[in-house]
Structure 1
Amino acid sequence: MLKSLSRRTLLRGMGASMALPLLDSMSSTRLLAATSNPADVPLRMGFFYVPNGMHMPDWKPIEGGDKYTMTPTLQRLAEHRSKFNVLTGLTLDGARSHGDGGGDHARSVAAFLTGAHPKKTNGADIQNGVSVDQVAAEQIGGQSRFGSLELGLEASAQAGNCDSGYSCAYASNMSWRGPTNPMAKEVDPGAVFDRLFAGQTTKETRRAKSVREKYRKSVLDFVLEDAKQLHKTLPEIDRRKLDEYLYAVRDVEKRLAGAERLRISEDGVPDYPRPSGVPQELKEHSELMMDMITLAIQTDSTRIISFMFTNAGSNRSYPDIDVKEGHHELSHHGKSEHKQAQIAKINRYHIDRFGYLLKRLSSISEGDGTLLDHCMLVYGSGISDGDRHNHDDLPILLAGNGNGRIQTGRHIRYENHTPLCNLYLWMLQEMGVKADKFGDSNGVLKNLG
């Protein structure tokens, strides 16, 4: 009879290691079968930020409850309707000016996970709060290989003036380990892959990477013998899970290899070299990063994730959806129908990327449900309408069942000006973090269960 596997079991090879997904042979799953207690499966929390607010008429439902009509933007997540809640009325007071004048974009992301009002400066004397993900990582981060992962699609900056006298550190970082310590995000999916599947020491990691690059080997080549031995000992259901997981890893590797190639123009000349592992196309880049998040959750490499689609005030254009103007400029729409329609396009593009993640997570079984069932994922912005720069009645979505803690499929309306930090305090407590206050919270958010 097979002995119970530890959740920390790794497939190992020369300079490489691979964490395993949750298998029925692991003690936590056996305990789950014996107790029917969803709490025995790891609970994860994630935060996904989009810039410049939202076209609210295409976002906010009219009706409350589970019979609400999905708006055009939310309709993009129709297949996942039963797995998320729309939360309205939540407010980010720390992002308001409080006498500091302009800078709503920088404040909106600096306050998004901290609930704090950042000090207005573009010098070295930055001052903010500790973010909710880092509060959790400090107390429970030791339960996984990485206390937290900070990811995104645009690189962080730690200096410079990015918004009306606010440092770029505020505009490009939403995770803060301390009041003066922003956590720079990783934007290279190849680098994330290396972190997840590299060896346990720096020397091993460098050696494995060198061999892989020289002989174009897969990380699977290094751990294949270990995987074969494990495969022989597993029951049929776990063999399928292991095979599906290894296939997903190999698929990501292939796509990463393609991302490193130069883009070739019509005349056969490369446009320009790309940083290793960072695709030129935003859609491909975002999907690779969502795959990294899926693998990190599936292997229990981390239980805490933050992700920024772009930095605050981003003026990125989106030519692949026929939006040639900059996002920030469009957000100052002045009620222009054309600009509002373009903003709505961008909003739908972003939520499609989030929908890709939800689909990936819901396709992978774990314990008595799926990975998505065991997550609490916040998606939204620290600005409501980009033209008004208001920070009340924010566009917030909460996806995942939270191991049965969350009753999903609803539009939950809260009284306007309810602190967003009430949601974060509730999440912290459900994660097992000892906290009775966070940011400007005045209690835990009600009606989620």
Structure 2
Amino acid sequence: MARKSWHLDRRTFLKGLGVSCMIPYMEAMGMGSMMKTTNTSSEAMKRLCFVYFPNGVGLPPVESSYHKKWSWFPMGEGVDYKVTQSLMPLAGHRENMSILGGLSHPRSRALLGHLAGDTWLTGGDVRGSEYMNSISVDQLVAQKFSKHTRYPYLALSTDGGIGYKSRVSTLSFDLSGKPIPSEHRHREIFERYFAPGGGATTQARRKSIQQDKKIVDLILEDSKRLHRRLGKHDQTKMDEYMHSLSTVEEQVKRNEQWLDIPMKDFDTGHINFNADVKVDPEAYIKTTFDLMVLGMEVDLTRVMTYMMAREDGLGLGENFPKLALGLSKGHHTISHDLATGHWEEWGRYDQWLSKQFAYFLDRMKNTHDEHGSLLDNTMILYGSACSTTHNAVNYPLVLAGGANMGLKHGSYEKFGEEPMSNLFVSMLNTLGIESESFSDSTGELHSKIW
């Protein structure tokens, strides 16, 4: 595929949209340190990735005839566990992954399960009317790792945008706990991030960046002038608006600093940019994973999140069981249906989701850079924010990759409702970000993985 011009017409964008639309898009364009550094160290880079699915998993009771076949969690524990049909597509990655049970966010345990999706990477408090969410762990890492890459992070989802409180369509939240918009249109993602400049000359790109800087400077100046004329409530809104403009300014500076650094050569012949999520969700998800692998291969960013579908039957993911498996019900409906075929249908769909994640792990394992397999240098967490039908405890989680960071896989471990944030603390320390706590953690996760 030929590279195309990726210049965003910010003049039109800034003048054409209001503040309420501008803020989320601007926050998606960058944050963190603007110091440009190149990776000259022989030490392998470390990466972090999160993949989420909604509505929990099928967990037939022990007395059910479906238990040993369709329970998402394995039979047995430790290294001798046996996967059921639900996780069978991942069996080939046993040595590259660990299955975790029992973890959850204490402040989300009493919530309706779908609300807990907002806190999966934050551990924040969204109880009551205050909605006190906090920064997501991926954004904390993005702040630390941003100096190494063209972009601090990629926030992806199947639906795009932010959704709304309690039913978000993004996994990423900024320092103030506000959702960061996710992206979902494959061609736009490729042209924005992977084809900087296209066929334009360096001089033309530099001129465009300078123009962008002038536009942002003018908007910031006008915003500051207006700020002094506003009441307290409006000043708060304007502060958020000006913060979003600052993130745009940072990314413009970043683009300028990376202008003369060529991106690694790459091949897109295997990527299906015509995948239609409303027709073939498996092809769409594979394309998303292919773009994620490509982003890591060229070191575009080292932090990624992907929400495969939204909670509560909202969004495009609700119809995946119908489109992919020919079932008569959607995902959320299946999770509530207590009819005879309930566990079989749910188990088959859990298996389908596992198959998609297995594809991602296959691609990561078989794609190499100068430091070896991408999987060995990337920690990947796959899972959901409730176990089964609105129960926001015992999150189904798979931690994969990271062999070169010292992770030792191959087992299924159960934890006694330990805070999931303890897992995040261990992950942060493994990434070289020394941390004693994150959100409501009580320390590191005591596990055989580390």
**Deviations 1:353-385 (Å, cap 9, x if unpaired)?**
111111111111234531111111000111001
Tell me if 1:394 matches 2:395.
Answer: yes
Structure 1 residue 251, shift from structure 2 partner: 2.8
Q: Unmatched 5+ residue regions in structure 1?
A: 1-11, 18-25, 32-39, 160-166, 209-229, 231-241, 260-273
Tell me if 1:332 matches 2:306.
Answer: no
Structure 1 residues 14 and 382, CA gap change in structure 2 (3 angstroms):
closer
| CA distance in structure 1 between the partners assigned to 2:100 and 2:177 by the alignment | 31
**Is the 1:140–1:433 contact (alpha carbons within 8 Å) kept by the matching residues of 2?**
no
Tell me if 1:285 matches 2:290.
Answer: no
SS at match of 1:250: coil
User: What does residue range 121-160 of structure 1 map to in structure 2 within 5 Å?
Assistant: 121=129, 127-159=132-164
Tell me if 1:440 matches 2:440.
Answer: yes
User: What does residue range 119-198 of structure 1 map to in structure 2 within 5 Å?
Assistant: 119-121=127-129, 127-159=132-164, 167=165, 170-198=167-195
Q: TM-score, normalized by length of structure 2?
A: 0.70
| CA distance in structure 1 between the partners assigned to 2:3 and 2:308 by the alignment | 34
Mean Cα deviation higher: 416-425 or 404-413 = 404-413
| CA distance in structure 2 between the partners assigned to 1:178 and 1:438 by the alignment | 13
Match of 1:104?
113
Say what the alpha-carbon RMSD is for the aligned residues: 2.9
Tell me if 1:307 matches 2:311.
Answer: no
| CA distance in structure 2 between the partners assigned to 1:431 and 1:296 by the alignment | 19
**Deviations 1:386-436 (Å, cap 9, x if unpaired)?**
1xx22222211001134241101111222x211111111111122222422
SS at match of 2:414: strand
Tell me if 1:250 matches 2:254.
Answer: no
Structure that is richer in strand per residue: 1
User: What does residue range 20-169 of structure 1 map to in structure 2 within 5 Å?
Assistant: 27-28=40-41, 31=42, 40-56=43-59, 57=67, 58-97=71-110, 103-105=112-114, 107-121=115-129, 127-159=132-164, 167=165
Tell me if 1:363 matches 2:362.
Answer: no
Q: Unmatched 5+ residue regions in structure 2?
A: 8-38, 60-66, 206-261
User: What does residue range 203-242 of structure 1 map to in structure 2 within 5 Å?
Assistant: none
Aligned length: 344
Tell me if 1:341 matches 2:352.
Answer: no
The residue type paired with residue 412 of structure 1 is E
| CA distance in structure 1 between the partners assigned to 2:383 and 2:429 by the alignment | 21
The residue type paired with residue 439 of structure 1 is S
Match of 1:375?
378
SS at match of 2:55: coil
Structure 1 residue 49, shift from structure 2 partner: 0.9
Structure 1 residue 89, shift from structure 2 partner: 1.6
| CA distance in structure 2 between the partners assigned to 1:200 and 1:439 by the alignment | 40
Structure 1 residues 351 and 41, CA gap change in structure 2 (3 angstroms):
same
SS at match of 1:417: coil
| CA distance in structure 2 between the partners assigned to 1:200 and 1:94 by the alignment | 46
SS at match of 2:100: strand
**Is the 2:134–2:178 contact (alpha carbons within 8 Å) kept by the matching residues of 1?**
no
SS at match of 1:64: coil
Structure 1 residue 14, shift from structure 2 partner: 8.1
Sequence identity (%): 26
